[in-house]
Amino acid sequence: MTGLWWIWGLVGCSGDAPPTKTGTDETGADETGTDETGADETGTDETAIPPPTPVTAWPLPGLDLAHTRAALGAQICSDNVDQLGVAWFDEIIDRAFYGAVSTNPLVVDDVVYYQTMRSEIVALELGSGAPLWRVPRGADSIGPNGVAIEGDRLLAAIDPLTFAALDRHTGEVLWSRSLQRTPTEGIDIQPIVYDGVVYLSTVPMVPGQAHIPGTVGVIHALDVATGASLWSFDTLDDPVGLWGHPELNSGGGAWFPPTLDPTLGLMYWAIANPGPFPGVPGFPNGTSRPGPNLYTNALVALDLQTGALRWHDQISPHDLFDHDFQLSPIRVDLQVDGRTEPFLIGAGKAGQVIAWDPTTGARRWRTEVGRHENDDLTELSKFITTIFPGIYGGVETPMAYAEGLLFLPVVDLGTRFNQESKLFPSAEEIFAGTGQLIALDAATGAQVWSTALDSVVFGGATVSCDLVFTATYTGTILALDRATGAERWRLETGVGINSWPAIVSDTLLFPLGVPLGETPPGLLALRLGATGQLPTGPSTPGTTATDTPGTLSAAPHPTGPIHPTGPIPATTGTGQARP
């Protein structure tokens, strides 16, 4: 992916840039708090939609296995959103090159769990923000990391090379194992858990280095109880030869967790781009990697039990522009001509939104969003060409779905390329970029509304009641009417935002990741009726600001023992075999 995650170093550190079961899934109201009968799935048949179930937890990265990010039963609605105030703020002291925090927290049993970009894992009381425990690691993550939860276990990458299970009540490490096959392969992802299995991926990157030659991103399925490998899947069709030049080429892996459909027995992964891009001296335009470079920039459907490939669709063959198709797709059932039809909808950095039949992979529709210039070129010259969407453009961060509408945070920002190199946008260019939040009819792909924003949009899309929340890189959190796109509320945080929220009941939990001024990065809890203030300067490490100004709570820092269980074998499972 390379793209978005490099952004966070531009402002937060030195400023020097380096040369991105069905729609009513089995989790139902028990795991997600969403309406088991399909209040956020059926689209147009409002007579079949009962009142939404109250949202009392956010247990999975996208709220449910379908990744709808739709908290329809949350209490934050258009008629009270102006009553949101600061309930508490958990400052992040230890920051990585890529920023402070990059994904939404999880909330289970009134406890908030999140992970920083320095791999620290934090547990806080939802009501007060008081710390329960912290596990500091001091290891930079290379992407949108985060935690998963099943039962009493919390699962996460505790550094880019090691995956672990922790006791979610104490932070003690129960088991850990290395997933590293090569020195240049790292874990970048927020995992997801289902039925005793945790799913995650590696990518061909380690902190400070991207697309290191000879490295392949690999999908892993591990036993939650023991960490034992159940299967793995190589995300390249030539993991040994790397399309003829293993000394130059790399690629694949996943940046975001898969979408699961237990009824069909399938899971859907969005795969990252190939490298090098656009080329290197002597091999312009990706000629070191001839062909389409499967399964990069593709949506792949894998058997949930074995990891075997069932179908795939490549969106950008032989990609030159870092156009990952990287986001978790959304699985919904929609009314089409009076029939209920299954849909799987994905998007990525190429600015293309695509809907499939989730069983067969047949495309249902395709829609382009955002600004497009020169992105249809199959070759570049030695002269500079500006491409829209660029490496930070298109749909960078998670989308959402509710009652027939798909919500997309779109970035309009270009990149300058020639046939052998690219020029990453500067911090100034990123701040000058713009964005949109766009709503599409999920059944047809037709645009319903678009709201222009004066900054690039890296805050994802998240539904609460009749609103959709997003945020800009310049620090603005916005609530838009999800039927019309009209702005209903905004908050200027003073902190750059490159992640997306979780919503539980009357509380909006928004990570703020990039320092821009006096307000430090941290996890912000906004709550109806709260009256606290954001901090305006650094506090003491291990403290939490609450809605009583000046009140701070000390945080214990248990680390727990590490119990290595050895590397994963070189060839496992029934997916694409590894050498």
Give the model's pLDDT for residue 138. Answer: 83
User: What are the tens digits of pLDDT across the range 248-307?
Assistant: 999 999 999 999 999 999 999 999 999 999 999 999 999 999 999 999 999 999 999 999
Q: Which two tokens stand for residue 350?
A: 């190429």
Res 412: pLDDT: 97
pLDDT band at 185 (very low <50, low <70, confident <90, very high): confident
Give the tens place of pLDDT for each residue, 303-323: 999 999 999 999 999 999 999
Q: What is the pLDDT of residues 76-105, one digit of tens each?
A: 999 999 999 999 999 998 888 778 999 999
pLDDT at 408 over 90: yes
Are 90 and 125 within 8 A, CB to CB?
A: no
pLDDT of residue 49: 56
Take residue 239 and report the two structure tokens written for it.
């993991």
* Residue-level pLDDT at 47: 46
pLDDT at 244: 97
Mean pLDDT of 471-478: 97
Q: Which helix (H) or strand (E) holds 427?
A: helix 427-432
Strands (DSSP E) found in 195-351: 197-203, 205-206, 209-210, 216-223, 229-234, 250-252, 259-261, 266-270, 274-275, 298-303, 309-314, 330-336, 339-347
Q: What is the pLDDT of residue 22?
A: 32
Task: Confirm if 524 and 493 have CB atoms less than 8 A apart.
Answer: yes
Best CA proximity match to 34, nearest among 50, 54, 48: 54
Q: Please tell me which residue, 4 or 281, carries the higher pLDDT value.
A: 281
Residues 458-497 as b/e (b if ≥16 CB within 10 A, e otherwise) read: bbbbbbbbbbbbbbbbbbbbbbbebeebeebbebebbbbb
Report which of 80, 75, 85, 132 is spatially closest to residue 109, judged by C-alpha positions.
132
pLDDT at 17 over 50: no
d(CA 295, CA 576): 11
Q: Residue 517 contacts by C-beta under 8 Å, 6 or more apart in sequence?
A: 494, 495
Q: Which residue has the higher pLDDT, 69 or 98?
A: 69
Tens of pLDDT along 448-457?
Answer: 999 999 999 9
Domain boundaries, the chain: 65-546
Give the pLDDT confidence score for residue 42 in this predicted structure.
40
Confidence bin at 184 (pLDDT 50/70/90): confident
Q: What is the mean pLDDT of residues 421-425?
A: 90
pLDDT tens string 376-406:
999 999 999 999 999 999 999 999 999 999 9
Residues 471, 254, 351, 403, Cα dihedral to 10° = -60
CB 229 within 8 A of CB 222: yes
User: Would you say residue 120 has pLDDT above 90?
Assistant: yes
Return the pLDDT at 208: 63
Amino acid 578: pLDDT: 30
DSSP states of 185-199: -EE----EEETTEEE
Share of the chain above pLDDT 90, in %: 75
The two beta strands, 70-71 and 462-464, are parallel
Given a cut of 60, whether residue 66 has pLDDT beyond it is yes
pLDDT at position 538 is 58
Domain at 65-546: CATH architecture = 8 Propeller (2.140)
- C-alpha angle 140-142-145 in degrees, rounded to nearest 5: 90
Average pLDDT over residues 112-125: 97
For the stretch 536-577, pLDDT in tens is 765 544 444 433 222 222 222 222 222 223 332 332 333 333
What is the pTM (predicted TM-score) of this model?
0.87
Mean pLDDT of 345-359: 98
Burial of 363 (0-12, 13-18, 19+ CB in 10 A): exposed
Residue 5 in contact with residue 102, Cβ under 8 Å?
yes
Inform me whether the pLDDT recorded for 150 exceeds 50.
yes
Give me the chain's average pLDDT, please.
86
